[in-house]
Structure formats: C-alpha cells, structure tokens
Amino acid sequence: MARDEHNKAAEHHDNAAKAHRSAAEHHGKGDHAKGKEHASSAKQHSQTANQHSDQAHSKSQQQK
C-alpha cells in the first residue's frame, strides 16, 4: 500500500534530520569523529527515505 511507503519514507526523513542536527552539534563542538558518524547515519536514512519515496510513487501510479 502506498500509504505505508509514504509513512516509512517520512520516518526515515525524520531520522535523517535528527542525525543531521546531531552531526552539526558534534562538529560545532569539535568532535569531528562523532560528527562524521552522525553524518553517515543521516546519509543512510536519506537514501532509505528516497527508496521508500520511489516505491510509494510507483504504487500510487499503479492505483490510478
């Protein structure tokens, strides 16, 4: 169901945003190792969100 994919995409977008904020905070404190770790996590969540968005779009198109 497209709705499920949209919800999964939104959840991963939220997680990516949290990880980006955390990365910025750690970089701002000079803890670049932790900042890089959170930035990598943000990237992974963003990529997963994109996959779910694509799936949701495909499912929405099929329901027309």
Residues 32 and 2: their CA atoms lie apart, in Å, by 38
Which tens digit of pLDDT belongs to each residue from 1-59? 778 989 999 999 999 999 999 999 999 999 999 999 999 999 999 999 999 999 988 88
User: Under 8 Å CB-to-CB from 10, ≥6 apart: which residues?
Assistant: 49
pLDDT of residue 60: 82
List the chain domain ranges. 2-62
Instruction: Check residue 23 and give its pLDDT.
Output: 98
- Can you give the pTM of this predicted structure? 0.85
